[in-house]
């Protein structure tokens, strides 16, 4: 049942002050319908009960690390990559919920598509009971974020094309290409990682199926660090313009949302 020395998948979760969410996040990973994985968590010097909550789980697939001092999200992600032993890396944030078939479906996709370096998926938005009623009403209408099946440079110029908590990628391939999280682009380090993958001549994909529930609780990094996110996003787009030797393209975020956001009842998952 439990992981081997070299599991198929390493699920990597950076943790910081995630006490309200981390138990459900861990439970969802442990409920996967495949067992050949390890769950790596690094606590980035949390000031709440995150570590105590994680330690309540008695499962030898869990490997918990702790930073004495806060190092930031990019450094924490890179630390987990160095500790990982799996063939594939499954990314997960400390407040999101994997559906039970996520790991199996994405691993099977990478097994059958050796030309793909990184694969994401569609995901459904949800707001927990702890959020204001108006947020729950608005978010829990069944919104699904749909990224393109095989993203190209033209897609990436508009914005990130893989929702990072849905990403799974080939650990050794990215390491051999020198690809890791660049602290200069935090908190858009995930967007930059996608750019690095394409710049290395590798391919991306998204599975047109909901494999994750994204917790839009209101304290998400993209919401509370809007200024830093916008600045980092601009830097990544400037990097893309340099790679492609073209002017930086301004593409309003509202158009990105209109292009990718759908109601669940409108979709046919494949």
Q: Residue 270 has which token pair?
A: 């494949």
Domain membership flag for residue 58: yes
Q: What is the mean pLDDT of residues 72-90?
A: 98
Beta bridge partners of 40: 12, 63
What contacts 58, CB < 8 A, 6 or more positions away? Answer: none
Q: What is the 3-state secondary structure (H, E, C) of the chain?
A: CCCCCCCCEEEEEEECCCCCCHHHHHHHHHCCCCCCEEEEEEECCCCCCHHHHHHCCCCCCEEEEECCCCCCHHHHHHHHHHHCCCCEEEECCCCCEECCCHHHHHHHHHHHCCCEEEEEEEEEEECCCCCCHHHHHHHCCCEEECCCCCCCHHHHHHCCCCCHHHCEEEHHHHHHCCCCCCHHHCCCHHHHHHHHHHHCCCEEEEEEEEEEEEECCCCCHHHHCHHHHHHHHHHHHHHHHHHHCCCCCCCCHHHHHHHHEEEHHHCCCC
CA distance 29 to 35: 10
Q: What's the total number of domains in the chain? A: 1
Q: Tokens 């529930």 correspond to what residue?
A: 213
Q: What percent of the chain has pLDDT over 70?
A: 96
User: What pLDDT score does 2 carry?
Assistant: 46
**Residue 203: inside a domain, yes or no?**
yes
The token pair that represents 203 in the structure block: 């391919």
Tens of pLDDT along 235-249? 999 999 999 998 887
Per-residue pLDDT at 135: 84
pTM: 0.93
Is position 231 within any domain? Answer: yes
The confidence band for 33, taking pLDDT boundaries of 50, 70 and 90, is very high
Which of 167, 155, 129, 143 has the alpha carbon at shortest distance from 21?
129
Q: What is the largest CA-CA distance in the chain?
A: 53
Segments forming the whole domain that contains residue 181:
9-266
Q: Does some domain include residue 4?
A: no
Q: How many CB atoms lie within 10 A of CB 46?
A: 21
Q: Does residue 1 lie within any of the structural domains?
A: no
Condensed to tens digits (0 to 9), the pLDDT of residues 142-151 reads 999 999 999 9
Is 2 a member of any domain? no
Q: Is residue 89 part of a domain?
A: yes
The CATH number of residue 34's host domain is 3.90.550.10
Query: Where do we find the tokens 């790596």?
Result: 40
**What CA–CA distance (Å, rounded) separates 251 from 260?**
14
């Amino acid at each position: 049942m439990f992981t081997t020395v070299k599991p198929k998948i390493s699920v990597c979760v950076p943790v910081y002050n995630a006490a309200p969410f981390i138990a459900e996040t861990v439970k969802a990973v442990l409920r996967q319908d495949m067992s050949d994985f390890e769950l790596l968590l690094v606590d980035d010097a949390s000031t709440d009960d995150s570590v105590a909550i994680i330690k309540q789980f008695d499962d030898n697939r869990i490997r918990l690390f702790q930073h004495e001092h806060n190092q930031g999200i990019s450094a924490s992600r890179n630390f987990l990559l160095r500790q990982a032993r799996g063939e594939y890396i499954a990314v997960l944030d400390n407040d999101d919920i994997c559906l039970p078939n996520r790991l199996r479906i994405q691993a099977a996709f990478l097994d059958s598509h050796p030309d793909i370096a990184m694969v994401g998926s569609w995901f459904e938005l949800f707001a927990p009971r702890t959020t204001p009623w108006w947020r729950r009403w608005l978010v829990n209408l069944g919104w699904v974020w749909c990224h393109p099946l095989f993203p190209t440079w033209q897609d990436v110029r508009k914005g990130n094309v893989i929702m990072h908590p849905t990403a799974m990628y080939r650990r050794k391939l990215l390491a051999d290409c020198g690809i890791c999280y660049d602290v200069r682009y935090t908190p858009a380090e995930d967007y930059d990682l996608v750019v690095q993958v394409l710049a290395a001549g590798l391919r991306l994909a998204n599975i047109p199926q909901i494999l994750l529930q994204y917790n839009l609780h209101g304290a998400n990094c993209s919401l509370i660090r809007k200024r830093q996110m916008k600045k980092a996003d601009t830097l990544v787009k400037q990097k893309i313009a340099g790679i492609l030797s073209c002017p930086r393209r301004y593409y309003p975020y509202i158009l990105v949302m209109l292009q990718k956001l759908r109601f669940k009842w409108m979709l046919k998952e494949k």
